[in-house]
Amino acid sequence: MTEQTKVTDTPATPVKTLPDAQTVTAVRHWTDRLFSFRVTRPQSLRFRSGEFVMIGLQDDNGRPLLRAYSIASPSWDEELEFYSIKVPDGPLTSRLQHIQPGDQIILRPKPVGTLVLDALLPGKRIWFLATGTGIAPFASLMRDPETYEKYEQVVMMHTCRTADELAYGRQLVADLQNDPLIGEMVEGKLLYYPTTTREESVYTGRITDNLTSGKVFEDLGIAPMDRDHDRAMVCGSLAFNVDVKAVLEGFGLREGANSDPKEYVVEKAFVGDGI
Ligand code: FAD
Ligand code: A2P
C-alpha cells in the first residue's frame, strides 16, 4: 500500500465521536436563502428562551467550525430548533444547508445572550423587533408561556425584503394560534406585524419608519409606546439595531442588560462584513 492510498483510506473523524455531537431530526427549506432544522437536545442543557449557543460542523481538517445561533425553540421543547441563513460561500452555512435527518452537528451546551425576559423591568406590553433571521430568538420567546404570563400584549414586528422571507415566522405564528396548549394563552395577546420593504404585501415599510410615523400603532389599533408600559427586544443587522435603538430612546425607553434590567435589550442577528 502506498503512502498516498493510506491517506485516502483514513476516514475523517466522524462528528459523533465528539462529546458535543447532536443528531438532526428534521430540516425544512423555506427559500433558497433560508432553512430551519431541529436537533436532539442534550439532557443537561438548560437555557432561557431567547439565548444563543455555538453550533457547527467539522471542517476538512476535523476541527470544529462553529458559529453563534439563537435557539429558536422554547425552553420547554424536548428538541432544539434553529433558523438559518444560507450564505453563498459562507464557511459554515455553505455546508450546513446540506444537513439531513440522521446527520450529526456539534453543539456547545453553553447558552448565553441578552434577549431574555429577566433583562427587562416588568411592563404591560413587549415588542419583539426583528429583521431577517433576527426572528429566531423571538421564535423561542413567542412560544414560551412565561412571555404571556409576564405581559398583557406581545407585538411581533418582523421585516424582510420580500414576502417569501417572512414564511417561517408566518407559519410559526399560525401554528401557535392553533396550538391546543398555548393557543388559548396567545389568543388576543399576540399581535403579529410582518412587513416587506422591496415588494408589496399587506403591510410594508421598515420597522423604524412604521414606529416613528405611528403607522404600526394605527394599523393595530393600539396606543403609542411609552416608558411606563412598553418593553422591547431588538435583533437584526448592526445598522438596524443602531437605528431602532435611536427610535426606542425617542419613546423614552432605556437599554438594559441581564445585570441591569431596563426597558429594552438588543442582540446582533449576525456580525456583518468588516464589523
Ligand atoms: P460567516 O463567515 O459567519 O458570515 C459571512 C457573512 O454573511 C457575514 O459577514 C454577513 O455579512 C453575512 N451573514 C452571516 N449571517 C447572516 C444572517 N443570519 N443573516 C444575514 N446575513 C448574514 N445566523 C442565523 O442564520 N441564524 C441565527 O439564529 C443566528 N444567530 C446568531 C446569534 C448571534 C449572537 C450572532 C453573533 C450571530 C448569529 N447568526 C445567526 C450568524 C451566524 O453566527 C453565522 O454568521 C451564519 O451562520 C453564517 O455563517 P457562515 O460561516 O456561513 O458565514
Ligand atoms: P430595506 O429593504 O429598506 O433596506 P437586509 O437584508 O439588508 O439585512 O435587510 C433586511 C430588512 O431590514 C430589509 O427589509 C431592510 O429594509 C431592513 N433594514 C435594513 N437596514 C435597516 C435599518 N438601518 N433600519 C431599518 N430597517 C432596516
pLDDT by residue (tens digit) across 38-95? 999 999 999 999 999 999 999 999 999 999 999 999 999 999 999 999 999 999 999 9
CA of 7 to the centre of ligand 1 (A): 34
Last residue of a domain, one of 112, 131, 165: 112
Segments forming the whole domain that contains residue 107: 4-112
pTM metric for this prediction: 0.94
d(CA 120, CA 257): 7
Residues 207 and 169 in one domain: yes
Cβ of residue 136 lying under 6 Å from some atom of ligand 1: yes
Position 271 in a domain: no
Asked whether 71 lines ligand 1 (CB < 6 A), one says: no
Q: Tell me, what's the pLDDT at 17?
A: 57
Q: How far apart are CA 129 and CA 115, in angstroms?
A: 11
Length of the chain equals 275
Shared domain for 250 and 131, answered yes or no, is yes
**Does the pLDDT value for residue 185 go beyond 50?**
yes
- CATH code, 137: 3.40.50.80
Residue 37 Cβ inside 6 Å of ligand 1? The answer reads no
Q: Give tens-digit pLDDT for 102-158.
A: 999 999 999 999 999 999 999 999 999 999 999 999 999 999 999 999 999 999 999
Average of per-residue pLDDT across 179-205: 94
Are 174 and 143 found together in one domain? Answer: yes
For ligand 2, residues with CB inside 6 Å are 131-132, 159-161, 197-198, 206-208, 237, 239-240, 243
- Give yes or no: residues 129 and 82 share one domain: no
